[in-house]
Structure 1
Amino acid sequence: MFDRVRNVDGGRAAVYAEGGTGWSGVRGKRVLVTGGTRGLGEQIVRLLSAEGARVATCARTARDLEELTASLDTETFTRPLDVTSPGSLEDFVVATAKRFGGLDGVVACAGGSRGGGIEQAAPDDWAATWEVNVGHAARLVRAAVPHLRAAGGGSVVVISSISGWKPGPPAQYGVAKSAQIHLAASLARELGPDNIRVNAVSPGSMLIPGRRWDRMRREDPEAFAHFVAAELPGGGPVAPQEVARVVAFLLSDWSSGISGAHLPVDRAQNAPSPDGY
């Protein structure tokens, strides 16, 4: 399953997925991924597509979805939508199941945070952060359950974060991510009788082009080196492709015995940011 190894600046080797590997784990699986045009979500979509899954994904920007599908060799069902908009996500789940003839898995990858520290973040910031993380994940699972049940069972992966149990500001983000971990464990117990597995994956700091850690690495290499030395014993941030491989495994039948689990993918990272601990 591991096809290529590439070095990450400032860190040790990281595994990247480029093209199919012949692994049969998700071949033919029908999977919906939210937030699939950037960062981790994009890498999940690319890996699943390369390994033979039928993939649907959504994002807020139609152009991003068009660029993604144009770059893939396989058909991908997409729809521009806001996962926090009532009914939009649920309608997309129904449309995906109709398009694919059912569903075998869903990945709640869309997320984010709004507002700053406790004195700056308004109640609306807390509510918005909760909704895009916990609310959207719960609504995705609720909408998918009838289709997963009809398929004889399936797999749900909720993308949380190490911020969900390793403290660091902003608090509203960590609280929401902590709730996602609990959500996965609780739903695993509730949906187990239907042969529906639910797991949470918590990435550590990821090196994504143009995002926080990549900008720090380029703009303030001294601060980046200090962060790596203090908090990242693995020698650098985890690559999103490494996290995507864990998600693909959890969607596959190879992980049939795993449910209710919380899997950190962080190379033993300590604090989630230079502001933590």
Structure 2
Amino acid sequence: MVNVDDGVPAQRWEGGTGWPGVRDKRILVTGGSRGLGEQIVRLLLAEGAHTGTCARTAPGIEALDVSLTDRERTRLFAEALDVTEPGRLEGFVTGAARRFGGLDGVVACVGGSRGGGFEHADAGDWAATWEVNVGHTTRLVRAALPHLRAAGGGSVVIISSVSGWKPGPHAQYGTAKSAQIHLAASLARELGPDGIRVNAVSPGSMLIPGRRWARMRTETPEAYAAFTGAELPGGAPVEPQEVARAVVFLLSDWSSGISGANLPVDRAQNAPTPYGY
């Protein structure tokens, strides 16, 4: 009997299997003052990364800053800006790269939707939803590209959604999130020769204080129980901290073999809304 592995030495781990993390990496996160973006920023700083972030309002940035430790604050670069405003996002990327001496990764976390159902959402609603999701992502990656290339490569993480691959209302949002998943796969092929990995992360329904599911759990507990019972095998939505850990993994060197993927972090969620497909 011939063993197909005969003659091939077993691989050994040198120095153990300690988590290399993102220490000293230089990473930008859009929309980092609340929700998922905030948790990504906090985890990056806690893990020793130099972290840049932006938010639409100065109070959000200020609240984040004062909540950090002195050590974390020295590694934070933050600005208040609207990512859809021409030139502002590009200026933020340039400023952060100058502050940190380069970039090793970016996370496109800003997202959202405008307008109602299909018959009520006009062309402006579709355009605005596309711009805040897909438009801002492409501009972020394009602005960061020279800095990632100069660093010898890096990691791009695009925050999509369960709505990007499991249909539900509203169509303009799901369409934009689906495009982000395709964008990750396409850019992974195009930028791979430069050592740049691109992946999408698709969170399911998240329990964020003050947001939809947290309000639903408090205000209409019966509807919340019906939704989680029918659509979430785990019985509860994911926490933003759980999604943040997946994002930071994709930014780390331990995910070096992963590119062009869409990683769902949704506890095997079925439909993205209480209303089914």
Contact 1:24 1:51 in 2 (8 A): no
Q: Which residue of 1 aligns with 2:254?
A: 254
| CA–CA separation in structure 1 for the residues paired with 2:92 and 2:250 | 22
Counterpart-to-counterpart distance in 2, 1:98 and 1:70: 23
Mapping 1:116-131, distance limit 5 Å: 116-131=116-131
Aligned residue in 2 for 1:215? 215
The structure with the larger Rg is 2
Please tell me the root mean square deviation across aligned C-alpha atoms, in Å: 0.8
1:152–1:194 CA contact under 8 A, matched in 2: yes
Partner of 1:228: 228
Contact 2:40 / 2:241 at 8 angstroms: preserved in 1? yes
CA distance in 2, matches of 1:62, 1:31: 20
Q: Which residue of 2 aligns with 1:18?
A: none
- CA shift, 1:235, in A, is 1.2
Shift of 1:178: 0.1
CA distance in 2, matches of 1:226, 1:276: 12
5+ residue gaps, structure 2, are 1-17
Q: How does 1:44-63 map to 2 (within 5 A)?
A: 44-63=40-59
Say if 2:68 is the partner of 1:72.
Answer: yes
1:104 aligns with 2:104: yes
- Aligned to 1:48, the other structure's residue is in SS state helix
1:107 CA displacement: 0.1
Alignment correspondent of 2:177: 177
Query: Which residue number corresponds to residue 8 of structure 2?
Result: none
Deviating 4+ runs (over 3 angstroms): none
Matched residue, 1:8: none
Q: What TM-score do you get using the length of structure 1 for normalisation? A: 0.91
Counterpart code for 2:111? G
Shift of 1:276: 2.6
Deviations 1:82-129 (A, max 9, x none): 000111000100100000000000000000000000111111000000
What CA distance in whole angstroms lies between the structure 2 residues aligned with 1:24 and 1:275? 42
Instruction: State the match for 1:142 in structure 2.
Output: 142
Work out the CA distance in 1 between the residues paired with 2:95 and 2:270: 41
Give the Cα separation in 2 of the matches to 1:40 and 1:260.
Answer: 22
Corresponding residue of 1:204? 204
2:33 corresponding residue in structure 1: 37
Q: Name the CA distance, whole Å, in 2 between partners of 1:172 and 1:191.
A: 28
Identity, in percent, stands at 78
SS in 2 for 1:32: strand
- Residues 131-186 of structure 1, C-alpha deviations (whole Å, 9 max, x = no match): 00000000000000100000010000000001001011010000000000000000
Instruction: Evaluate the alpha carbon distance shift between residue 42 and residue 62 of structure 1 in structure 2; reply closer, same or farther with a 3 A threshold.
Output: same
- Cα contact 1:117–1:169 (8 A) shared by 2: yes
**Deviation of residue 24 (structure 1)?**
3.3
Q: CA deviation at 1:23?
A: 4.6
Q: How far apart are the structure 1 equivalents of 2:59 and 2:217?
A: 29
The whole-number CA distance in structure 1 between the counterparts of 2:62 and 2:208 is 21
Deviates more, 1:22-31 or 1:68-77: 22-31
- The answer (yes or no) to whether the contact 1:23–1:51 under 8 Å persists in 2 is no
Aligned length: 256
